[in-house]
């Protein structure tokens, strides 16, 4: 069996360390600096020749820096003769740019997939991709994990299940996700029917389905960016009689006014995973971080040992 | 300006002829035979050297035959030194296999995209792809048309608009499409909330949204295969008090028990386009075919003349 | 040593089973269905991650279906992280379209080679390719087997050798093949000199070489399609005084009027291999099927164990 | 129309000049030197940016030098932004290494095709490839010319036609070629049935077909290398009563003992084309060179003007 | 002639505007925003279908952002069917990472070249690449300009020529560049012989060559980063009796302590080009910016019109 | 562990044998002939299926022959299913053509890298590449060795160190190399400042640095071609008072008048390695060959065993 080596980019070193702890191995050494002109310096500090290398790097903000750092790490390992390079991308930036909705725009998610492959990655391990079709943007094998069980656990432990709750999809595109959670947690289903005015602003309208009144509302999404739309949804749900509103999402991007929006909204808790690290100013009591380290660790172990990963699929 | 040449595979020659009529040019000659052992013989019967070639072929049933025929036509034109080959695929078969929902299955839509590119296609012109992300399965330029205006016209002409109607999404995945039609036609929005038991059978549950009673229900989908789910939806809507039920979809695949289902269901009309040709036994009074030939013709003309195609996007 | 996994497409499951029996292993499980619209569904039902996978699929009629099924199986195994995928193609459809004899035709055999490689095949195991140059259509390694020993055995056992026989090439292109058999079986050499009027019809002329009279004539070819040309050859040989006529070919495509032609012609036996399965109505007494399962099994075993395959080359 | 530029490598500058004369244009300037260590220096001495470039270079002996020179010329033109590069290869070296007849040998003809494409060639113009399948070794368009009419003209002018002649194939692989000439020139058909002992030596056996006696024998082949086998064939034909023996081949490689063999054999004339230039010591009276310059010139003109090349196919 | 379209990324819009002014055309419209999470949004706001597109973007700091923005612009134009995309990269970031001087480091300059090509660029226009070999990192055509004449002009106008000056190479790697300037400006040649202790710090030693005393010292380099080494060189030259020290470089990266170093050093002027824009705080009197807009404009014009670019090469 | 197989092309069989002796294994058998027409015949005579194959071939003169032979060997091993092919190229021909210094010239070093990769090489092991950037011409891993320690050893053993010597760079481009030797051997540094008039002739000017007088001058270069420039340098150094002049270079190309130049110059010894074999007439007393066989053997062993090669880097 070829030796397993796990390296972390600078995007989420705590997650990488937690994964290694879960696997009971040392995180391998790599030097990652930035020159005064902003160029990235990379030196892999352990021999990777013939090794089975995993590079852990969510491409979270600053996305262009983290993506480029990942590509440079791949190039280093390729040229250093790694036997196999699996890029572990718990959060895949640019995933929402996955189609051309108007003329003369890019499909940046596909571009990123092409760049990762061109740099020399042999495989990808991703989690809760914004659209499942992004797997098809790659010709190399992609293992796709779901954080849903980790999020469900939070609510199961707190007995937020069955008739106590209403599972809410914050928009039309997330109904399937909400349905999935409802299958596990029970409750009724509601959808926030919103109209998008432009790419950045959203105007909420009303709620379809329910019932809401007297229940805890659990909003599920794949990621929280500015928290603008969940703030609106929470307000709508609150007005509709929800006794408390919880939000759960795999990826806590939490950019721009996100923290302000969360604090201003009638939201009891925001449950996210550690796919993206929280900055210090983001560590507010409402935000409850659940770790996916053991999930990723298990997947890495199975990939390394040529064992089925489907078995730990979250669905 | 390089000369324009349009060839048709055997999948939908009437559509190709209608496109050429709309463009006021002759359909170019190509010999397409099948040897006794089923192998396809192809001979392009006009000079394509340095020409701007368009190959019209929806990959409708028998999908494997039509796809392979298209690939062989591409190979013939490539080797005959066509300047540019645009594959016009009004219906893109295998589009629903666009992701890995379970382990060890293919992403056949991506495979097909790779095959088309590998054979030598320079561009793709498609219509109402099952998922918009399929555009990203290609690295060559894709022009994507929407048949929605053609379908809307049918209802506008019959005054099935505004408070007369309820626009119905037959499942969670088509809500966005239904919303789009509602923006143009007015009315209220309803969703059939169904549970899929396995890949082929579907068990319907109930309707979210509305109101339904006293209105004409207009179900919109991208394609109709066995018509099983729209039969169920029509029955649900009928029970809920819809005064009549119409179904509209871009692609009339109409396979298996489709005709029987349509005839058995309380459906007033099934509005489809000619992206796929109707077999004789499929030509029943309920099915109303609207032509997209002029839409495709306009797109071909604009691609040929390097003019914007976004301008005729149906959205 | 990585585990060996053998899967069969639907083209020739009996051959795959015979190969597995010869190797004393189980045929691995794969689900291959067809949706009502003709699209192929594939699910590999055993873990192939890191395994050494062989996919057995002659691309015999219906060729486009079997080819596409093979490509989808390759895609499934690639995405499921198979360590190596060897496509075992005992009969390679479209092999006769291996050149451009006129302008604006495809080289479909090359196209097929490109598609197989693009889908993700790492290697090919083929048998009696129509033209040896087809090996060069691939950049991945091709192991090429010859069924000649299997066919020769049939005649050796029946003492159809030496001065008892005349070895006949049914056309100019097969003389080398006939010579090869003559080296092993003895006898004299004759060639049927025919003029091809068009791609489907053939007009026979006369025989060069011999002697014919008083001998058993053994016609050798790589494949039998409509059996039109061997019927003509058999009649010519019969008129020339051959005491009985036998036909031997690796691939029994036997399409169109093949069975009728064989039954109508003065042919004592048609010796073919099981590279292509016989339909029930094709199982007539004249047709003698010799199995190549052990030959393919041996090759698979050697490829799996990194042992020389040249050693079992049939020449 | 983009400007036409024709460059010649050092393999056959007289042919390139004759082509240009036929096209009434100047041969473009290129500096091709060899450094003292044998490395090739190349500088394109005219602007090729956006031009339609043709590079004329048969890969005749010294084949490795001429091939490498061609690749370097392609690289120069690619980097100098030529709009299109057509490699004109009247004689394609390594063509006989087009298959794997034994284990662990290369398919050098495919390798060469890959190298030419990798260097940046957009198209190939070839003549009388040893095997037609070599066209399929390329994915870029190949125009394939036949010198047969040029060779036939020589005999038509001398009334070596009809019952005066017997058309002879020097081996089994060339029967189709001989048949083609017979269709144009008339006469009977004979085949020299030879047994190849090893790759370099050949042992002739006997003649099949005829009649020979009292006729002029015309041996047709695609190339003459050491002239060993045609010497043997000529002797056999002479013994069989042929009144004179002529040999015709597209490519006069004429290496090793070729001139000695021709002079020693009962051969009246050796008709070849100028696809390969004759060295001074090869210019003996028996060798009659027919020019293919006008044929190549016409093909280049048609390719440049996007006109059909099939029309001048020699068959 | 296809229409010319010039777009600018956000790296150096003033340069793009100056180029367009020089060409007397409008800079084309493109929307380039940044979402709250740092992802780049791009929409090409003019039709580029069939156009000859030039994208101007030096990959100066922040290098990863500017590079990614360029790649996204390329993807947008490729998918919008631009006829040809030339990336104009006046300053090529990561150029110093062009080799592996130690084990397990990347060759980031090659990686960047691969990414640019993978994204869809058809050509590159660069200026004063750190190493000329970087041209070979691309397989697409590269036009390479030299800013030397622009820098020389500055000194020629001020009569800093001949015996008035000593041309100084700040290290061993730049001697060839210094020699080139000396050929045009005259004077003597000197080299600062330095020892590099680590990647970021440099310790100067002494000067080879000269004479220095009583002359103006002109230090030439390709880029100025932190200005640490030119500060040291200036001090050495000042001590050695230079009456004034000038520094000239194509690329003014000017990062980290650069401005402080320049102001602290005995440097009369720092002559750079506008390949990289100056931030406001960098606009100090010592820095004299010479524009290369006309040089780039002329190259773009010539590339667009298929005219030779070598003619304006600065050497 | 996969079995190691080492094959030698015909360029430097003695080196390959020395490497194998150092590794205590047999050189594997391969048949390499030349047909009468100059085409290379290759047959790998041992099973390489699944083996770890190393092909040793410096591309020294005749460079085009040796390069093509290497490519054919790679093709043979690829098609014979070698598990991994490492091309060991101790001397990399065409390395000086690594940039475009003028318009419309090739970058042949990049072309060669592309050809080697296209033929199927998985890795490269090189030594003292003319420019380190050539590593970046490959996307496959390159291990790069330095012969400097071997050359230094020669002088260390003869006490040509410290104040006894002056280390001389024969031109501006080799200063870095000379500095490297000086760090190990001591002494002072001098540079021969030459002006290159054209590609083949060089006119020397004068020496910068020193002191020279009374010291042994050690000129270091990467290769010696015609020995013209080192002859000039030696004469200059002799005139400047050097007590003896030694020349050391990794690669002894020694073409054209090299031997004459060496014998005519005041050169005490020319120290080279056996990266290129010496012809008999080149074996003059002044030339001292140091073997790099053990260095290459060690690298091969480490690559085969997935051990770090950096550890034996010569720097």
Q: How does pLDDT run across B73-89, given as a tens digit for each residue?
A: 999 999 999 999 999 99
Residues of A whose CB is below 8 A from E37: 61, 63, 93, 225, 253, 255-256
Do C100 and C206 lie in a common domain? no
- How would residue F310 be classed by pLDDT, with cut points 50, 70 and 90? confident
Question: Is D137 part of the contact surface with chain F (CB cutoff 8 Å)?
Answer: no
pLDDT average, residue stretch F33-44: 97
Cβ-Cβ contacts under 8 Å between C and F: the total is 21
| CA angle F241–F245–F247, rounded 5-degree value | 150
Do B48 and B160 lie in a common domain? no
Task: Give strand pairing partners of F202.
Answer: F196
- Give whole-number Cα distances, E177 to E129, F103, F173, in Å: 12, 19, 11
- pLDDT confidence of residue F198: 43
- How would residue B1 be classed by pLDDT, with cut points 50, 70 and 90? low
Q: Is the peptide bond before C62 cis (omega within 30 degrees of 0)?
A: yes
Q: What is the pLDDT of residues B18-32, one digit of tens each?
A: 999 999 999 999 999
Work out the minimum CA distance from A93 to partner chain F, whole angstroms.
Answer: 26
Do F258 and F300 lie in a common domain? no
Chains B and F touch (3+ CB pairs under 8 A): no
- How would residue C1 be classed by pLDDT, with cut points 50, 70 and 90? low
Work out the minimum CA distance from E114 to partner chain F, whole angstroms.
Answer: 9
CB F207 within 8 A of CB F191: yes
> Which of B30, B79, B106 to mutate against chain C (most C CBs within 10 Å)?
B106
Do F189 and F201 lie in a common domain? yes
For E47, how many CA atoms within 13 A lie in the half-sphere containing its CB?
Answer: 13
Do F33 and F69 lie in a common domain? yes
Task: Give strand pairing partners of D34.
Answer: D40
Work out the minimum CA distance from B194 to partner chain A, whole angstroms.
Answer: 10
Helices H, strands E: what count in chain D? Answer: 8, 14
**Distance of alpha carbon D231 from alpha carbon D210, whole angstroms:** 19
DSSP run (H or E) holding C218: strand C216-224
Please identify among residues 34-63 of chain F the ones whose CB lies closer than 8 Å to any CB of chain A: none
Task: Give strand pairing partners of F210.
Answer: F189
- pLDDT confidence of residue F1: 66
**Distance of alpha carbon D113 from alpha carbon D121, whole angstroms:** 10
Q: Is the pLDDT of residue E238 over 90?
A: yes
Q: What is the pLDDT of residues A47-79, one digit of tens each?
A: 999 999 999 999 999 999 999 999 999 999 999
Q: Does the distance separating the beta carbons of A307 and C47 come in below 8 Å? A: yes
Q: Which two tokens stand for residue C57?
A: 């699929």
- pLDDT confidence of residue E197: 43
Q: What is the pLDDT of residues C134-171, one digit of tens each?
A: 999 999 999 999 999 999 999 999 999 999 999 999 98
- pLDDT confidence of residue A197: 43
Which of the other chains make 3 or more beta carbon contacts under 8 angstroms with chain F? Answer: A, C, D, E
Residues of B whose CB is below 8 A from C93: 37, 39
Q: Which residue has better confidence, B183 or B200? A: B183
Chains A and F touch (3+ CB pairs under 8 A): yes
Do D53 and D153 lie in a common domain? no
Residues of C whose CB is below 8 A from D100: 132, 135, 142, 144
At F69, phi and psi to the nearest 5? -60, -40
Helices (H), chain D: 13-23, 63-79, 108-119, 148-157, 175-185, 228-239, 258-264, 293-304
Question: Is B182 part of the contact surface with chain C (CB cutoff 8 Å)?
Answer: no
CB A123 within 8 A of CB A115: no
Nearest CB to C38: which of B39, B41, B64? B64
Q: Which residue has better confidence, E183 or A247? A: A247
Work out the minimum CA distance from E41 to partner chain A, whole angstroms.
Answer: 8
Please identify among residues 274-313 of chain C the ones whose CB lies closer than 8 Å to any CB of chain D: 308-310, 313
Please identify among residues 6-35 of chain F the ones whose CB lies closer than 8 Å to any CB of chain D: 35
| CA angle B73–B75–D148, rounded 5-degree value | 110
Helix (H, G, I), strand (E, B) or coil at F297: helix
Do D267 and D234 lie in a common domain? yes
Q: Which of F157, F176, F183, F194 is catalytic?
A: F194
**Distance of alpha carbon A168 from alpha carbon A190, whole angstroms:** 5
Nearest CB to C50: which of A139, A142, A306? A306
- pLDDT confidence of residue A1: 67
- CA D203 from centre of chain: 25
Q: Is the pLDDT of residue B203 over 70?
A: no
pLDDT average, residue stretch B150-158: 97
Q: Does the distance separating the beta carbons of A141 and C80 come in below 8 Å? A: yes
Q: Does the distance separating the beta carbons of B123 and E47 come in below 8 Å? A: no
Residues of C whose CB is below 8 A from F79: 141-142
Q: Does the distance separating the beta carbons of E123 and D49 come in below 8 Å? A: no
Helix (H, G, I), strand (E, B) or coil at A192: strand
Q: Which two tokens stand for residue B243?
A: 């005064």
Q: Which of A100, A110, A176, A194 is catalytic?
A: A194
pLDDT-wise least confident of D85-89, E174-178, F254-258: E174-178
CB B303 within 8 A of CB B309: yes
> Which of E35, E47, E97, E226 to mutate against chain A (most A CBs within 10 Å)?
E35
Nearest CB to A78: which of F141, F143, F309? F141
Q: Which residues form the domain of C8?
A: 4-146+293-313
**Distance of alpha carbon D208 from alpha carbon D193, whole angstroms:** 7
**Distance of alpha carbon C159 from alpha carbon B314, whole angstroms:** 75
Nearest CB to B50: which of D139, D142, D306? D306
> Which of F11, F47, F103 to mutate against chain D (most D CBs within 10 Å)?
F103
Q: Which two tokens stand for residue D113?
A: 């095709």
Work out the minimum CA distance from A233 to partner chain F, whole angstroms.
Answer: 50
Residues of B whose CB is below 8 A from C45: 104
D188 CB-near residues (< 8 Å, 6+ apart): D165, D166, D167, D182, D209, D210, D211, D215
Q: Does the distance separating the beta carbons of B135 and A133 come in below 8 Å? A: no
Q: Which residue of B has its CA nearest to D135?
A: B79
Please state at what angle helix E63-79 crosses helix A108-119, rounded to 10 degrees: 110
Q: Is the pLDDT of residue F149 over 50?
A: yes
Nearest CB to C47: which of A123, A141, A308? A308
The stretches in chain D having pLDDT less than 70 are 1, 194-205, 313-315
**Distance of alpha carbon E169 from alpha carbon F193, whole angstroms:** 14
Question: What residues of C are annotated to the active site?
Answer: 194
Do F75 and F170 lie in a common domain? no
Q: Is the pLDDT of residue C132 over 90?
A: yes
**Distance of alpha carbon C166 from alpha carbon C188, whole angstroms:** 5
> How do strand B165-169 and strand B188-196 relate by DSSP bridges?
parallel
Q: Does the distance separating the beta carbons of E119 and A114 come in below 8 Å? A: yes
Q: Is the peptide bond before C225 cis (omega within 30 degrees of 0)?
A: no
For E261-287, b where at least 16 C-beta lie within 10 A, e where not — what string?
A: bbeebebbbbbbbbbbebeeebeeeeb
Please state at what angle helix D175-185 crosses helix D148-157, rounded to 10 degrees: 40
Question: What residues of B are annotated to the active site?
Answer: 194
Q: Which residue of B has its CA nearest to A310?
A: B103
Q: Does the distance separating the beta carbons of B308 and E81 come in below 8 Å? A: no
Cβ-Cβ contacts under 8 Å between B and D: the total is 21
Do C63 and C130 lie in a common domain? yes
Q: Does the distance separating the beta carbons of A179 and B175 come in below 8 Å? A: no
Task: Give strand pairing partners of D145.
Answer: D127
Cβ-Cβ contacts under 8 Å between A and B: the total is 86
Domain count, chain F: 2
Q: Specify the residue for token string 């979809």.
A: B249
Do D285 and D242 lie in a common domain? yes
Task: Give strand pairing partners of D6.
Answer: D54
Q: Does the distance separating the beta carbons of A141 and C47 come in below 8 Å? A: no
Which of the other chains make 3 or more beta carbon contacts under 8 angstroms with chain B? Answer: A, C, D, E
Q: Give the CA radius of gyration of chain F.
A: 20
Please identify among residues 58-117 of chain E the ones whose CB lies closer than 8 Å to any CB of chain B: 78-81, 83
CATH code of E284's domain = 3.40.50.2020
Q: What is the pLDDT of residues C8-53, one digit of tens each?
A: 999 999 999 999 999 999 999 999 999 999 999 999 999 999 999 9
Q: What is the pLDDT of residues B252-310, one digit of tens each?
A: 999 999 999 999 999 999 999 999 999 999 999 999 999 999 999 999 999 999 999 98
Do C12 and C137 lie in a common domain? yes
Please identify among residues 190-229 of chain D the ones whose CB lies closer than 8 Å to any CB of chain C: 191, 193, 208-209
**Distance of alpha carbon D19 from alpha carbon A83, whole angstroms:** 53
Q: Does the distance separating the beta carbons of A179 and B98 come in below 8 Å? A: no
**Distance of alpha carbon C220 from alpha carbon C216, whole angstroms:** 13
Q: Which of A106, B311, B125 is nearest to E77 (CA)?
A: A106
Nearest CB to F225: which of D37, D72, D76? D37
Helices (H), D5-139: 13-23, 63-79, 108-119
> How do strand B30-34 and strand E4-8 relate by DSSP bridges?
unpaired
For D28-53, b where at least 16 C-beta lie within 10 A, e where not — what string?
A: bebebeebbbbbbbbbbebbbbbbbb
Q: Give the CA radius of gyration of chain A.
A: 20
**Distance of alpha carbon F42 from alpha carbon D106, whole angstroms:** 7
Q: Which residue has better confidence, F91 or C179? A: F91
- Give whole-number Cα distances, B189 to B150, B192, D281, in Å: 20, 10, 91
Nearest CB to F49: which of C139, C142, C306? C306
Do E193 and E153 lie in a common domain? yes
- pLDDT confidence of residue C197: 43
Residues of A whose CB is below 8 A from B144: 100
């Amino acid at each position: 069996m070829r030796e397993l080596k796990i390296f972390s980019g600078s995007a989420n070193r705590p997650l990488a360390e937690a994964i290694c702890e879960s696997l009971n191995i040392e995180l391998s050494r790599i030097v990652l600096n930035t020159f005064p002109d902003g160029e990235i310096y990379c030196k892999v500090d352990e021999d990777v020749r013939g090794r089975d290398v995993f590079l852990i790097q969510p491409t979270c903000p600053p996305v262009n820096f983290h993506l480029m750092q990942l590509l440079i790490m791949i190039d280093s390992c390729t040229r250093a003769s790694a036997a196999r390079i699996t890029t572990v991308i718990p959060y895949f930036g640019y995933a929402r740019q996955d189609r051309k909705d108007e003329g003369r725009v890019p499909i940046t998610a596909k571009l990123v997939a092409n760049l990762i492959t061109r740099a020399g990655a042999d495989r990808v391990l991703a989690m809760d991709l914004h659209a499942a079709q992004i797997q098809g943007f790659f010709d190399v094998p992609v293992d796709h994990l779901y954080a849903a069980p980790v999020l469900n656990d939070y609510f199961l432990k707190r007995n937020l299940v069955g008739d106590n709750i209403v599972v809410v999809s914050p928009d039309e595109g997330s109904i399937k996700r909400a349905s999935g959670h409802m299958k596990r947690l029970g409750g009724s289903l509601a959808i926030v029917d919103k109209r998008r005015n432009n790419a950045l602003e959203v105007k909420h309208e009303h709620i379809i389905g329910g019932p809401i009144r007297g229940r805890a509302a659990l909003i599920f999404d794949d990621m929280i960016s500015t928290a603008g739309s969940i703030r609106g949804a929470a307000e709508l749900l609150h007005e509709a009689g929800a006794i408390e509103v919880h939000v759960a999402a795999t990826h806590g991007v939490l950019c721009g006014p996100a923290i302000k929006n969360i604090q201003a909204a009638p939201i009891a808790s925001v449950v996210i995973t550690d796919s993206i690290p929280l900055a210090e100013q983001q560590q507010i009591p409402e935000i409850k971080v659940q770790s996916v380290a053991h999930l990723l660790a298990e997947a890495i172990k199975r990939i390394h040992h040529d064992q089925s990963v489907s078995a730990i699929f979250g669905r």
